[in-house]
Amino acid sequence: MNDATNDATNDTLHNVATLHNRLREQSSPYLQQHADNPVHWQPWDDLALEAARASGKPILLSIGYSSCHWCHVMAHESFEDVATAAVLNEHFVNIKVDREERPDLDKVYQLAHQVLTRNTGGWPLTMFLDPHKLTPFFGGTYFPRTPRFGLPGFTDLLMRISGVFKEKHEELIAQGDKVVDVLNQMNAEAAEARLADRDVLSTAREALGQQYDREYGGFGDAPKFPMPATLRRVLCHWSTAIRFGGRDKDGLDLVLVTLTQLARGGIFDHIGGGFFRYSTDRRWRIPHFEKLLVDNGLLLSVFAEALEVGPDPLLISAARETATWMLREMNHPEGGFCAALDADSEGEEGRYYVWRREQVKKLLTEDEYLLVETLYGLDKPANFENRWNLYRTDSWRSIVHRLSLDADEASTLLASARRKLFDARAARTAPERDDKILTAWNGAAIHGLAYAARVLNESRWTEAAFRAAEFIRREIWQNDTLHSGWVNGQISGPGYLDDYAFVMQGLLSLLKVEWHDETARFLQALADATLDRFEDSDGGGFFFTAHDAEELLYRPKPMLDDAVPPGNAIAMRVLQELGDLFAEPRYITSVERTLACARSRLEQLPAGHCAMLDALEARLLAPETIILRGPKEEAFQWRRSIAQGFKPWRSVFVIPYDGVAFIPSYLPRLVSASQRSSVTAFVCTGMQCSLPIKSLEALQDALGKA
């Protein structure tokens, strides 16, 4: 060993001996929350990993995020405790990760946790790693400071793990290697298709019907997530069945009942708008009180899709209030949308949102209180720590009838009561807001706002979505690379598949509202970059990390549904439409290769791949791309005429002549002034387009025949 190597080793060993909490240097609000802990937290970087290797100590990897309730609980119980911190600092190199900034690490170690424990993961994720190979040998989620919930006390667990690591090191390494082998098998080459596409879709629909909660809507038991991608799959299946002359007996009811239960339930914020993360009970009444931007963007788009089927006052109200909340509380002054609101305020979960009955009585008139008490369950026992989380106990019509109120009078009373409750709540200490602008989550918000704006004719939402898209293009798209986020003027590292996929989906939805050359160019640049940076040229599909990203234990290629649909599914849906819109065969080929890669997974667990099945179904539908050219207002009228109903196979774009230069290559480039004065339609199926259609009646006739 030469002198330079000796010096480097000595420096590293000195650094290990003098490790201190380095999170103050990080931009992440979540990491900043732990910057004053007595634990010697390190970010995931070369210095921390080298320190772990030099020390020979195992790594404690703790992954969470700023609005996570149980992350706060574990922090208060253990990471802020000097005695617990002393054990951690002596026996481990401790690394803290914000899962929203490093979703790649989160995906890898969440999957590793599932393989190790055969249990679902969650946050905080607590994993113990070999310092040299970074393979996991033990893991869990929340651990209490002292034994409870059937879990060991955290300090005792730490001492046992440290001892086992020293005594059975080789066995633990072998176990970690097996975990990595299992993970790598997830990307194994797909088997040949055994079932027809329609059979896969039908099998999924049957399984979802069996999982559906017929009493309260949604799927499965508590804890219960809304699962917007699953709801969309059922809605698509119902709509497609009608298109081909069949019927899905109760598909529409399944979706509408679930959305109604969500809009009535305590998972919805009836005073300020927006949805909480999930429900802790089967009936949607008591939520986990954090609010995430991504959940609300995804749900807003599903509500809008359901409203294309037909108007419903409750669903319209929930959609409007969700969009209003996003613009009021989550819109960053620079133009993007912030990530999340905490579940906690003043050290208590849900404190900001729940009520005491006497508080409400003092704020409202007698008539207002009677209506609120009956509608929101204040006449029933307290449902959250001796207080009330509000939920609608029955339909609005039933409540109004029960109280013998005039409908207009009841609406006026409720609006007045809600204003008073909103103002009173605004005087409380609000939950902390995580001001990170996460790229993928902003893409979901743009998509939801743009879709809902088109259905409900709300220009303010469109404007907000365009501002967010422009912010991403201006601040987060740098040197032909999309980054994963922005906080306090600093961009995060290079983006992941979800960042590209969700932003593309948002931009595509904006183009369906209003065509802008800059948006179209940006969208095409992102599509090309997605193929160049993420596509598996050998096996098909898209990796979650870019080809030049940090190499981890395993390179995920996510296709399974989660609370947020996988990037592979979103990318396929967008690329399918863009392939038709821009007549780009490379995009269509990429979709075909991804479906081939996913095929065996779709057959083995079709109901677990609902978002992927949307792309599979699109291949069967002979999707229609309709281009309307001409005077904007007249073209918009044509669009409204042909866009009635939920038709997932139909995309309509209004591309005016004035101010537009970036158009699909198959459209005529030189058009006379007389031709510009009226609307012309082109109907394209796949990469074949009709001759110009000059009247709305002819267009409707052509679509009817199709």
User: What's the pLDDT tens digit per position in 355-365?
Assistant: 999 999 999 99
Q: What value, to the nearest 5°, has the Cα angle with vertex 592 and ends 499 and 510?
A: 40
Domain boundary (559, 589, 620) is at 620
Q: Is the pTM of this model over 0.85?
A: yes
Question: What gap in Å lies between CA 528 and CA 669, rounded to an integer?
Answer: 24
Q: What confidence tens digit (pLDDT) does each residue in 90-117 have? A: 999 999 999 999 999 999 999 999 999 9
Using an 8 Å Cβ cutoff, are 629 and 680 in contact? yes
Question: What gap in Å lies between CA 320 and CA 453, rounded to an integer?
Answer: 9
- Check whether 12 has a pLDDT greater than 50: no
pLDDT score recorded for residue 669: 82
Among 73, 72, 93, 85, residue whose Cα is nearest residue 18 = 93
pLDDT score recorded for residue 324: 98
Q: Is the domain of 274 the same as that of 329? A: yes
Q: How many CA atoms lie within 13 A of 400 on its CB side?
A: 13
Looking at residue 267, the DSSP 8-state letter turns out to be T
Q: Is the domain of 9 the same as that of 106? A: yes
Q: What letters, b where the CB count within 10 A reaches 16 and e where it falls short, cover 28-65?
A: bbbbbbbeebbbbbbbbeeebbbbbbbbebbbbbbbbb
pLDDT score recorded for residue 193: 79
Q: What confidence tens digit (pLDDT) does each residue in 152-188 have? A: 999 999 999 999 999 999 999 999 999 999 998 887 7
- Give the strand order in the sheet containing 650-654: 650-654, 624-629, 680-685, 688-689
Using an 8 Å Cβ cutoff, are 616 and 602 in contact? yes
Using an 8 Å Cβ cutoff, are 92 and 42 in contact? no
Residue 190: inside a domain: no
- Check whether 2 has a pLDDT greater than 60: no
Question: What gap in Å lies between CA 348 and CA 18, rounded to an integer?
Answer: 36
Q: Is the domain of 462 the same as that of 539? A: yes
Using an 8 Å Cβ cutoff, are 628 and 679 in contact? yes
- Check whether 705 has a pLDDT greater than 70: no
Among 259, 263, 265, 257, residue whose Cα is nearest residue 284 = 265
Among 491, 489, 467, residue whose Cα is nearest residue 477 = 491
Question: What gap in Å lies between CA 367 and CA 370, rounded to an integer?
Answer: 5
Confidence of residue 16 (pLDDT cuts 50, 70, 90): low
For residue 241, count CB atoms less than 10 angstroms from its CB and return exposed for 0-12, middle for 13-18, buried for 19 or more: middle
Question: What gap in Å lies between CA 81 and CA 77, rounded to an integer?
Answer: 7
Q: Is the domain of 227 the same as that of 105? A: no
Question: What gap in Å lies between CA 432 and CA 447, rounded to an integer?
Answer: 25
Could you give the percent of the chain with pLDDT greater than 70? 97
Q: How many CA atoms lie within 13 A of 369 on its CB side?
A: 12
And the tokens for 591? 């979709």
pLDDT score recorded for residue 668: 87
pLDDT score recorded for residue 692: 93
And the tokens for 58? 């195992």
Residue 360: inside a domain: yes
Task: Please spell the DSSP secondary structure of 116-138, one letter per residue.
Answer: HHSS---SSEEEEE-TTT--EEE
Q: What confidence tens digit (pLDDT) does each residue in 118-142 have? A: 888 899 999 999 999 999 999 999 9
Q: Which ranges in 118-227 belong to alpha helices (H)?
A: 154-167, 169-185, 197-211
Q: Is the domain of 109 the same as that of 232? A: no
CATH number, domain with residue 378: 1.10.10
Domain boundary (387, 412, 427) is at 427
Residue 439: inside a domain: yes
Residue 388: inside a domain: yes
Average the pLDDT over 35-40 and give the result: 98
pLDDT score recorded for residue 105: 97
CATH number, domain with residue 320: 1.50.10.10
Using an 8 Å Cβ cutoff, are 587 and 617 in contact? no
Confidence of residue 17 (pLDDT cuts 50, 70, 90): low
How many domains does the chain fold into?
A: 4
- Give the strand order in the sheet containing 340-341: 291-292, 340-341, 433-434
Domain that holds residue 395: 353-427
Using an 8 Å Cβ cutoff, are 296 and 442 in contact? no
- Check whether 3 has a pLDDT greater than 70: no
Residue 191: inside a domain: no
Q: Is the domain of 25 the same as that of 126? A: yes
And the tokens for 379? 């006449």
pLDDT score recorded for residue 8: 43
Q: What confidence tens digit (pLDDT) does each residue in 71-82 have? A: 999 999 999 999
Among 497, 472, 459, 508, residue whose Cα is nearest residue 327 = 459
Confidence of residue 476 (pLDDT cuts 50, 70, 90): very high
- Check whether 448 has a pLDDT greater than 60: yes
Domain boundary (561, 591, 620) is at 620
pLDDT score recorded for residue 10: 47
Using an 8 Å Cβ cutoff, are 254 and 237 in contact? no
Confidence of residue 9 (pLDDT cuts 50, 70, 90): very low
Residue 661: inside a domain: yes
What count of residues does the chain have? 706
Q: Give φ, ψ of 580 to 5 degrees.
A: -75, -40
Q: Give φ, ψ of 683 to 5 degrees.
A: -110, 120
For 329-374, strand residue ranges (E) read: 340-341, 344-345, 348-349
Among 677, 584, 683, residue whose Cα is nearest residue 628 = 683
pLDDT score recorded for residue 190: 65
Confidence of residue 1 (pLDDT cuts 50, 70, 90): very low
pLDDT score recorded for residue 498: 98
Question: What gap in Å lies between CA 430 and CA 627, rounded to an integer?
Answer: 47
Q: Is the domain of 64 the same as that of 150? A: yes
Q: Is the domain of 324 the same as that of 383? A: no
Q: What confidence tens digit (pLDDT) does each residue in 650-701 have? A: 999 999 998 899 999 889 887 888 889 999 999 998 878 899 999 999 999 9
Q: Is the domain of 229 the same as that of 297? A: yes
Using an 8 Å Cβ cutoff, are 645 and 619 in contact? no
Could you give the percent of the chain with pLDDT greater than 90? 88
pLDDT score recorded for residue 187: 79
Among 104, 102, 130, residue whose Cα is nearest residue 116 = 130
Q: What is the CA radius of gyration of the chain?
A: 27
Question: What gap in Å lies between CA 509 and CA 451, rounded to an integer?
Answer: 6
Question: What gap in Å lies between CA 533 and CA 555, rounded to an integer?
Answer: 13
Average the pLDDT over 308-335 and give the result: 97
Cβ partners under 8 Å of residue 520, min gap 6: 511, 662
Residue 458: inside a domain: yes
Question: What gap in Å lies between CA 703 and CA 706, rounded to an integer?
Answer: 5
Q: Is the domain of 611 the same as that of 630? A: no
Q: What confidence tens digit (pLDDT) does each residue in 391-424 have? A: 999 999 999 999 999 999 999 999 999 999 999 9
Confidence of residue 318 (pLDDT cuts 50, 70, 90): very high
And the tokens for 8? 């480097």
- Check whether 335 has a pLDDT greater than 60: yes
Using an 8 Å Cβ cutoff, are 414 and 309 in contact? no
How far from 254 is each of 203, 311, 620, CA to CA, in Å? 17, 17, 23
pLDDT score recorded for residue 673: 82
Looking at residue 607, the DSSP 8-state letter turns out to be G
Stronger pLDDT, 191 or 411, i.e. the higher one: 411
Query: Measured over all CA atoms, what is the biggest interatomic distance in the chain, rounded to whole angstroms?
Result: 91
Residue 192: inside a domain: no
Q: Is the domain of 312 the same as that of 212? A: yes
Task: Please spell the DSSP secondary structure of 464-532, one letter per residue.
Answer: HHHHHHHHIIIIIEETTEEBSEEETTEE-SB--HHHHHHHHHHHHHHHHHS--HHHHHHHHHHHHHHHH
For residue 119, count CB atoms less than 10 angstroms from its CB and return exposed for 0-12, middle for 13-18, buried for 19 or more: exposed
CATH number, domain with residue 115: 3.40.30.10
And the tokens for 138? 């033990």
pLDDT score recorded for residue 189: 64
Average the pLDDT over 492-516 and give the result: 97
Question: What gap in Å lies between CA 238 and CA 247, rounded to an integer?
Answer: 7
pLDDT score recorded for residue 194: 86
Q: Whole-number mean pLDDT of the chain?
A: 94
Q: How many CA atoms lie within 13 A of 554 on its CB side?
A: 27
Q: Give the Cβ contact number of residue 472 at 10 Å.
A: 27
Q: How many CA atoms lie within 13 A of 474 on its CB side?
A: 10
How far from 284 is each of 223, 277, 334, CA to CA, in Å? 9, 11, 35
pLDDT score recorded for residue 605: 95
Q: Is the domain of 604 the same as that of 480? A: yes
Average the pLDDT over 583-589 and give the result: 95
